Amino acid sequence: MGRSPLWTSIRDHLSEEIARGHYAPGDRLPTEAQLSDRFGVNRHTVRRALADLAEAGTVHARRGAGVYVRHRPTAYPLGRRVRFHQNLLAAGRVPEKRILMLETRGANAEEAEALGLDATALVHVYEGLSLADGAPIALFRSVFPAARFPRMLEALRTSQSVTAGFAAHGLADYTRASTEITAKPATPTLAAQLHLPAGAPILRTVAVNVDAGGHPVELGRTWFAGDRVALTLGAEGL
């Protein structure tokens, strides 16, 4: 039997190191030059090993930035009740949110229609970044009727929790009335915020949450990093 190509040995060695946690999800691997020196081979051999790891979904290359270990996809259920912290804790991940923007402005036509508002109504807007184990997994924008939830921005600055913001206004529960899911390529701006290469797959959801009486209380848009989240639909439906 002939000897296996050198690149397969390098691939298997790197794959084992990744599996053992030597390189964690999101970590950058050594450069081709560094790996060439380490294994005593030329760059073409290293490049072939990295290409096979990428084909297997173990790593991905960012143009001009290097090769990175792929993040383990986070299971994220979509059902009548979608709660960020609970979803991530249930998946064994550490949830975190970072506020990017809080503002009050006039509703645009889409927001007014989705929330059942007059064209001149004001809305509160909450934009932020959702992270799992310190890695960004989604960018989100939530829009709320300002007249019904006048202290929402103050509550969000304190807690970063939409559920807590609703509770501060006497709304103890809310459910998902509809969710639309679309696959799109990441724009350069979105890719930078999520630490993705431009054009990487994005899963965009557009959802409306309602109170017990069926009145809209939130219009939400979320852009999920396609390789870091597995959206699942519960048996209860949407």
- State how far the Cα of 157 lies from the Cα of 176, in Å rounded to an integer: 24
pLDDT attached to residue 234: 62
CB atoms within 10 A of CB 89: 12
pLDDT attached to residue 228: 78
**What is the percent of the chain where pLDDT is above 90?**
57
Nearest to 50 by CA among 89, 80, 8: 8
For residue 41, give its domain range: 6-69
Q: What CATH number did the domain enclosing 204 receive?
A: 3.40.1410.10
In a domain, 106, yes or no: yes
pLDDT average, residue stretch 212-223 = 96
pLDDT attached to residue 2: 44
Q: What CATH number did the domain enclosing 40 receive?
A: 1.10.10.10
Task: Look at the alpha carbons of 184, 186, 187, 193 in this order and tell me if their dihedral is positive or negative.
Answer: positive
Same domain, 45 and 95: no
**Tens of pLDDT, residues 158-177:** 999 999 999 999 999 999 99
Type of residue numbered 199: G
**Tens of pLDDT, residues 63-120:** 778 898 877 777 787 878 877 878 778 777 788 899 999 999 999 999 999 999 999 9
Same domain, 56 and 101: no
Same domain, 96 and 209: yes
* Single residue among 54, 69, 84 that ends a domain in this structure: 69
pLDDT attached to residue 20: 82
Q: Total domain count for the chain?
A: 2
In a domain, 143, yes or no: yes
